Chain A
Amino acid sequence: MNYVALKMLFGDRAKYLMLLCGLTFCVMLIVQQGSIFWGLMIWSESGISNLNVQIWVTDPNISQVAEVKPIAPTTVERVRSVPGVEWAVPLYRGVGRARLANGEYHQITLMGLDASTLIGRPAHMEEGRIEDLRTPDAVVVDQWAVERMGGPEVIKVGTIFEINDRKARIVGIAHVQKDFQNIPSVYATFERATAYAPPERRLLSYVLAKARDNEPVEAVTERIAEQTGLGAFTQEEFGWKTIVWVLKNTGIGINFGTTILLGFIVGMAIAGQTFYLFTVENLKQFGALKAMGASTFALARMIILQAFTVGIIGFGIGIGLATLFGTLAASKGQLPFSETWPLLWIVFGSLLAICTFSASISIIKLAKLEPAIVFR
C-alpha cells in the first residue's frame, strides 16, 4: 500500500514538483524571516548579552537596557550585603558624543566598567589589550565604531578623540555583537566614564552581580529585590524585558509576524490546492482500491503518507536554502540572522499542520467516494 502511495506521488512529476516547490518556499520564507526577526531581537539585547553577567540590578521600573535610570552610589554595597551574592560591581551606561580630529561627530554608548575587575568587558579583542583601560585617558571601542566612525584608517589603536569635550585615547578594539540601533560602544573604567558623563546627581546606572555557586540565581535576584527595593533581573529576564519592549514599541513584531503568517497561509493554500487536485485526479485509482476492498482508513493512511513525505522533503530543502542564504548574506554580522533549533521545530510543526490540513481535505473527498466511480 505504501509503495503504491509513493508511486502515485512521485509518478506525476509535474504535480509533485509543484507541491514540493510550494512547500519548500513556504518553509524557506518562514525560516528566513523568523531568523532575521530573531537576529534583530538578539541585536536588541546585545547591550545585555555583550556584558554576559548573571544579575543586573537597577531601578525596578526599568523598561529596557538602554533606558537608564541612575541609582544611588551606595547600591553596590547594599547588593553586596544581600546573602547569596558572591560579588557586585558598578556599571555606568550612558550616551555620549564623540568628536574626531577631522570634525566629524558621532553618538556613542559610553560604558564604564569597574576599574579593578573590568567585569562586563568584551570577551574578544581584535586589537590591543583590555587591561590598558587602566592607563590615563584610555578607552576601548568596538568594531562597529571602526566601521561607523570612519574606517580603520581613522579609528585605530592610538587615535585620540574627544568624548563630551574630554580627551580619549583608543587602546583597543573589541569584537562584540552589533547593537540594534547601530550605535558604537566605547568602554572605559567606571571612574573615567563618570568623568566623561555630563554632571548628574547620580552616576551609577547598573549593579552587576553574581550569585554564589550553591544558590539558584532566581532566588538571589528575588532576595536582592526584596531587601533593596530595587529591580534585580537575571540576564535572561532582562534580555526578555528588552525584547518585549522592542516588540511593543516598534513595528518589528507586526511586520515580521505578518510576513511569517503570509508565508504560512500561502504555503497552506498552494499545498492544499495542489494536493486536492492531485487527489481528485487520482480518484479513479483510489476508487479502484476501494472497490478492491481497501478501507477508507487505509486510503487515509496513504494520503497522509503522501502528504508527509512531500512535506518532509520540502522542509529539508527549505531550511537548507534558508541556511545557505543566512551563511552567505549574514556571515560578517552585517545582517541580523539567527537560526535556532526552536524556530526549526516550530516551522516543522507548522509544516505538519499544513500537510495535515491539505490531506484532510482530500480524505474527506475520499471518504465520500463511491467505488462505482471506477466504472463511470
Chain B
Amino acid sequence: MIVLTRLSVWASLVGLLFTTWILMAAKKQEPMPTPIEPPPTSPYATTVAASGIIEAENENVRIAPPAAGLITKVFVKVGDQVDLDAPLLQLDDRELRAQLAVRQAAIAPAEARIEEQRNRLEDLQVQYKRLQAVHDRRAVSEDDVKRTWYAMEANQRVLVRNEADLIQAVAQRDETKILLERLTVRAPRSGTVLQVNVRAGEYATPGAAEALLLLGETHRLQVRADVDEVNAPLVQAGNPGVAYLKGSTKQAIPLTFARIEPYIVPKKSLTGDNTERVDTRVLQIIYHFARPPFPVYAGQQVDVFIKRDGGAATPPPAQEPGKAP
C-alpha cells in the first residue's frame, strides 16, 4: 500500500488517536454532589408548601409594664412555671409608698375632727333642750332660743362635711394602695416563662419593641404556616400536612389542621437582621401536632408541605408581586 509508506499518514494517525484519547479522558459533567442533608420534599403528589414556625398553642404573652418605671425586682427566671396572678416583676414604688404614708396620716385628723364636731353638736343640743324645757316663756328670750337652734343646725352640717372628708381621705389612701399593687406585674395566666429580657435596675417603658417577659405554654405546641397570598386559593381547609425541622429532613412531623387565620398579614423576613423587612403578604394556617420523639422548641423554623387534593385548583398566572405599583 502506497499510503502506508508515507510519514505524514502516520503523523496524521497519531494526531487523530492523541486527540481522541485526550477528549475521551476529558472530564464529563459530573452529577450534582449529593446534598449534605436531603432537602425537604413533599410526601404528597400535589402540595402547597409553606414556611412555618413552631409556637406555643395559646399564643405567647408579651408581658408589658403598666407604666414607665424603674424595675426593682424580677421574681422569675427563664423556664419557671408560674400560676395565675403570680408576681413577675416589681417596679419602683417608693414614691407611692411615701404618698401612702401621707394619705394614711391624713385619716386620723379627719376622724378627730368628727369627734370634736360631735362634742360641739352635743353641747348645743343639750343647751337647746334646756331652753325648750323652760315653762315660763318670759324667762328666756326668743332670740336666744333661735340663735341656739341655728348654731345647732349649722354644726350638724359641719359634722356631715367632716364625715365626707373622712370618706375622701380613706378613698385617697385606697387609691394609692391600688396604684401600689399595680406596680407589681402579675401573671395574666399560668404558663412557662420563655424569655426574660429585663434585669432589676433597668427602666421599663410601655410599648417597647421587645417584651419584658415572654410567657407561653410549651406543653402543647402548634405550627403557624405562612402561605404566600398568591397560593392562598390552593389551600384546602382541613387537609393534613407534614413539617420538617430546618436541617433535619429525615424525620417528618405529621400535622393536623386546626384553623386558618382569617386575616392575611405581611410576612416578616426571618433573616435574623434587626431591620425588619416587610415584603409579601401571607395567609397563616395553624396546625396541631403531637410531640415527636425528638426535641422541638417553640420558635423553631420548619418547612411545611400541605396536602392538596387533585390538580384542580391552579392559581391564575400570577403577576410578579414586585411589579405592583
Closest to A83 in B: B46
Interface contact A123-B33, CB-CB below 8 Å: yes
Interface contact B15-A318, CB-CB below 8 Å: yes
**Contact pattern, A 319-353, Cβ under 8 Å of B = 1, otherwise 0:** 11111101100000000000111001000000000
Q: Is A181 engaged at the interface, CB distance under 8 Å to the other chain?
A: no
Interface contact B33-A121, CB-CB below 8 Å: yes
Chain A residue total in the interface (Cβ 8 A)? 72
Given contacts A20-B8, A117-B38, A123-B30, contact A81 B277 (CB under 8 A): no
Given contacts A74-B282, A130-B36, A316-B13, contact A323 B319 (CB under 8 A): no
Question: Chain B interface residue count: which class?
Answer: 35 or more
Q: Is A115 engaged at the interface, CB distance under 8 Å to the other chain?
A: yes
Interface contact A77-B51, CB-CB below 8 Å: yes
Given contacts A116-B36, A199-B273, contact A227 B30 (CB under 8 A): no
Which of A49, A227, A314, A315 counts the most B-chain CB atoms under 10 A from its CB?
A227
Bound Cα distance from A318 to B321, whole angstroms: 56
Interface contact B314-A227, CB-CB below 8 Å: yes
CB < 8 Å neighbour of A313 from B9, B51, B234, B305? B9
Q: A233 to chain B: closest CB distance in Å?
A: 16
Given contacts A6-B2, A78-B49, A123-B30, contact A117 B22 (CB under 8 A): no
Bound Cα distance from A238 to B314, whole angstroms: 26
Closest to A6 in B: B2
Given contacts A77-B227, A317-B15, A344-B19, contact A87 B40 (CB under 8 A): yes
Bound Cα distance from A340 to B28, whole angstroms: 11
Q: Is A303 engaged at the interface, CB distance under 8 Å to the other chain?
A: no
Task: Report A's interface with B, CB cutoff 8 A.
Answer: 3, 6-7, 10, 16-17, 20, 49, 52-54, 59-60, 71-81, 83, 86-89, 114-119, 121-123, 130-131, 191, 194-195, 199, 201-203, 226-230, 309, 312-324, 326-327, 339-341, 344
Task: Report B's interface with A, CB cutoff 8 A.
Answer: 2-3, 6, 8-9, 11-16, 18-19, 22-23, 26, 29-33, 35-42, 45-51, 226-228, 230-231, 234, 246-249, 267, 269, 271-273, 275, 277, 279-280, 282, 303, 305, 308, 311, 314-315, 317-322
> What are the 10 tightest A-B residue pairs by CB atom distance, in nearest-first order?
A320-B15, A316-B12, A80-B49, A87-B39, A116-B247, A74-B228, A117-B35, A229-B318, A77-B49, A313-B12
